[in-house]
A and B are shown apart, each in its own frame.
Chain A
């Protein structure tokens, strides 16, 4: 199978994630969309590793997974704190900082 097809899938996943970040309101869902974008990047890296015939891209994918896990820790901490203060995880409700 032509590896370029995986690039199309990766671009599609990335776009779905990016649109999700922009249109969804719940902070958890927004965050999940970001994770989807990171995984789309992973797929692109692995595909390019296959196309280029070296392992560098696969190594990057491992690093990305670890970094994404760290991001989950920090992100959930922030979102849970906000939820406990406001009883809401909607990003639209958090709007004190405007002008």
Chain B
């Protein structure tokens, strides 16, 4: 009988995650005990406060010497710090959009069109459950790229997904579509996490260990049953590729992006991508690096299909949110080239790209929330014609974000694409680079078409207008656009910072 060993958790390293979780729990208590009048302001304070506190704490621990926490289950290395910082910053910006309660229904359980729904809307009350849900999702996202064993990976994956399924169904207008988005996201998300878990089971079967370091040792040793390894890689990748929305596992992306309330779409599109790619980079750069002959060819094919499919199908879209969804699929393809590159510059470039893309995405969806008519947000592209005459501010910002997505020089997108493609070139994947540049050119076509639509077409008189943004929304829009331009003009400090910090503990 061995003695019970007290686990050493290293609370300091875990503190950013714990602060966010603590904020979420306080948020649940606020829902239970405070009156409806004070809840919105209390929730907003707690949410923003815990996110900012976590970010400050993260800055303090960035050079901590101990790299793993919770007995090796969580890796707090340089790459984790950078991913968590990106996620927290994106979450803060997105929460400022979420704080505009105009987007959410008051009583999510009320049947659309029922007397209860009418009464709840007339009462002028606000939905505040969304704040703790956001914090739970953020905590899951912080844990996912830091996970250093299969159990933590799976728990973090579910922790980030489950609140998002619910949040997708909270829209105030077009509620049936919103609920449908929640259902689709949930069923397909649960389906893919089953694949993820099955892959995890086979990796465990192959290596006899649930820790990523143990799997790495088994892969390097190469003594196990290769069938288990291949099945494990295949199924685990399906689960991860689903989360990042790569073709052919992208089917949920356009529907969920379109149906979910726009601030939630902004949050989910940006932060989930960082978290999922963070976990993917860790798994493929550490555990499975020595098996790269097994997964690289298939991943390259998926990356190529994803880039081309996303760019080509986006051209045919008539809805702004669907167009941004297909653009996010194309970006998932660009990011996959960073995973396939499998070198230090690929890691640096991926992290920079994730941050730049996430910030621009929050900004772009932030602009979408402003364009309204009497029935709510207007997402039909035809009605966006002549937007610059209605609001030069909104149209200019949106044009800036689209140019960043397209990768035009002097925006963050250009630096991101340039560094990720040069990393892929360095690792000898020339075909990937060629397809990447080609599909960037295709993608530029539809981004620029939208800009032409906004600036050089006449506005129809159809009641579409651009509302005056609230102070929080406005600050999000300004901060995101400043970051987007700044990273395009003067990226060196951030690139150097990432370069000095980004590494995986093995």
Contacts and interface: CB of A to CB of B under 8 A. Distances in A.
Interface string A42-68: 001101100111101101100110010
A4 to B, nearest CB: 10
B177 interface: yes
B73 to A, nearest CB: 11
A40 to B, nearest CB: 7
Interface stretch (B34-42, B49-57, B199-207): B199-207
Given A37-B194, A38-B194, A44-B205, A60 B179 contact: no
A21 B187 contact: yes
B205 A52 contact: yes
A7 B204 CA distance: 13
A79 B183 contact: yes
Contacts of A38: 194, 197
B409 to A, nearest CB: 34
B158 interface: yes
Nearest to B224: A52
A98 B251 CA distance: 11
B201 A45 contact: yes
Nearest to B231: A11
Given A14-B198, A21-B191, A74-B162, A81 B179 contact: yes
Point out which of A54, A59, A81, A86 has the most chain B C-beta atoms below 10 A from its C-beta.
A81
Interface residues of B, number: 44
B183 A64 contact: no
B445 interface: no
B255 interface: yes
A99 B381 CA distance: 12
B205 A97 contact: no
Contacts of B197: 38, 41, 64
Interface string A80-97: 011011100001001111
A17 B259 CA distance: 27
A64 B196 CA distance: 12
A1 interface: no
Contact of A48 (B175, B180, B182, B205): B205
B284 interface: no
Nearest to A47: B205
A97 B177 contact: yes
A99 B318 CA distance: 8
A71 B398 CA distance: 37
29 contacts: A18-B194, A21-B191, A27-B183, A31-B187, A31-B190, A34-B190, A37-B191, A37-B195, A38-B194, A40-B198, A41-B198, A41-B200, A45-B201, A48-B205, A54-B208, A56-B204, A56-B210, A57-B201, A60-B204, A64-B154, A78-B166, A78-B186, A85-B112, A91-B187, A94-B179, A94-B183, A94-B184, A95-B180, A97-B255
Give the top 8 A-B pairs by smallest Cβ distance, nearest first: A37-B194, A48-B205, A52-B208, A44-B201, A97-B255, A41-B197, A94-B180, A34-B190
Interface of B: 108-109, 111-112, 150-151, 154-155, 158, 162, 165-166, 169, 175-177, 179-184, 186-187, 190-191, 194-195, 197-198, 200-202, 204-205, 208-210, 254-255, 258-259, 318, 322
Interface of A: 7, 10, 14, 17-18, 21, 27, 30-31, 34, 37-38, 40-41, 44-45, 47-48, 51-54, 56-57, 59-60, 63-64, 67, 70-71, 74-75, 77-79, 81-82, 84-86, 91, 94-99
Given A41-B197, A78-B179, 14 more contacts: A14-B194, A17-B194, A44-B202, A54-B208, A56-B204, A56-B209, A70-B162, A71-B190, A75-B165, A75-B187, A82-B182, A85-B179, A97-B255, A99-B322
